[in-house]
Structure 1
Amino acid sequence: MNYRHAFHAGNFADVLKHIALTRCLIHLKEKSAPFRVIDTHAGLGFYHLHSKEAERTGEWLSGIGRLLATELPPEIADLLSPYREAFDRVRSFHGDDVYPGSPEIARGLLRGEDRLILVEKHPEDARQAKENFAFDGRVKLLERDAYEALNAFLPPKERRGLVLIDPPYEERDEFDRVVEAVRQAYRKFSTGIYVIWYPLKAGLPVDAFYKAMVDTEIPKILRLEQWIRDERAGDGLAGSGLLIINPPWKLKDEMTGILTFLDKILGSGPGHKVRCDWLVPEKSK
């Protein structure tokens, strides 16, 4: 397992994923009942953008760097305020070059009775993440396989929650593993919000992934995608997507506006585009 997110923290894919995550959590908090968040591929929790890993790729410059340098329209600024507040919070403790990953973003949005389960298989990253969050009793870190842990912790005792699944897709069968994990998880916890990240680049079986997800017969799957360039124009990541099962009812409208804005500021080459649609609509009653 070679993937280390420190090389990619704050890139355009992180921006989309973390904005969508914050919007989902904000909507979960609209009800007073506690919830649980499970992050299956947690990483470190936060990252230094001037580390040797981040400096080596410089991906954050055309992602969060560009967003932070842009004056936001009022309606977008309002929707992105929880995401921006995550920066203020983590940087007040760790310095101005820090980017909050999904664990820190989720932790910062927890209330007193909410809980966060972090799963990280890479031993070094798991050790560091455990140190990073040891001060917060609402957070539990597990060094184990993501899919085994997911099966073990569902359904959450709170019966409300969000599951973030964002593997690196290094293995050839990762898309298949994700589909099977989601199928099993949904059987145990059909009311939860599931946020599933995936890469968009030439040669990946994304169309087969769509079909496999449709074939699960899970209803109400929202698809969010952003290409920063045409995937045929070169190697490397051309875009990223999210499938969100049971999205909050306002999310599609919110993310349509957000994606349109992100396309304007992060699209970097011919063929850049976005999509926000239903992969699977809600079942008619």
Structure 2
Amino acid sequence: MSVGLPSWRVLIEHMAEELHLDLERIGGRDANYQTIAEYYRLQLGSMESLRDWMERNWQVSREKVEKSAIHSLIVSLDFPIIYTTNYDRNLEVAFEIHGRDYVKVANARDVARVTPEVTEIVKFHGDFDDEASLVLAETDYFERLSFDSPLDVKFRSDALGRTVLFIGYSMSDMNIRLLLHRLWSTWQRSGYESDRPASFIFMPNPNPVQEAVLRRWGITVLSEEENDPGEALQIFLSKLKDRVDQLSASAAPDR
């Protein structure tokens, strides 16, 4: 949304309009987009029309991405692997704008193209270029709860041996909560929980309830005192970049 993408509410309203549904009769502001998307698939037989609409409306100009401080910071932080639940290509465009190589991973075939020298952009909930990969309707989410798809197996492998920073995930998303819990549970059962790499999650505003639950799962909550989520994230990433630059400079050999 920081570069003008529609909110999930806009998606809900579009599906309701196309299906001639009265939103107030199906939950109003509490309507669940996954359930409506499931109904959409049942009524129309496929998600092709919705995918096409989303692809048109989930795209922003290269100029907007180029001016996005958040996207610029993500690229400059040089993360080895980026997992995103977004379907759009804005991250890929940001890497292209800044002249950085990347490999997109949206299915099992893409996993074989991964190389250690290039940032991986893993489209965890699918990619517009592959309709079958999209995780959008309720059934799609339920099937992912088993966490045995190729991308789930890859995430477990990546997350077990690395420091993980979660950004932008809704803590009401049960898929994400279950994923975090299983990651903690795996380390706890291993008997080597004290050797687990640190994990963090950024939340725009402090939340003592979430902090307590996530701390139990071995995840440290980071936040900024800023009302606007986009501003909070930009401030956080800027501080992180400054700290990384300081550490890189101190580690560099004297000239």
Question: Do Structure 1 and Structure 2 share a fold, with TM-score over 0.5?
Answer: no
Identify the structure with the greater helix proportion: 2
TM-score by length of 1: 0.37
Greater RCO (CA < 8 Å, at least 6 residues apart) = 1
Identify the structure with the greater strand proportion: 1
TM-score by length of 2: 0.40
Report the structure number with the largest CA radius of gyration. 2
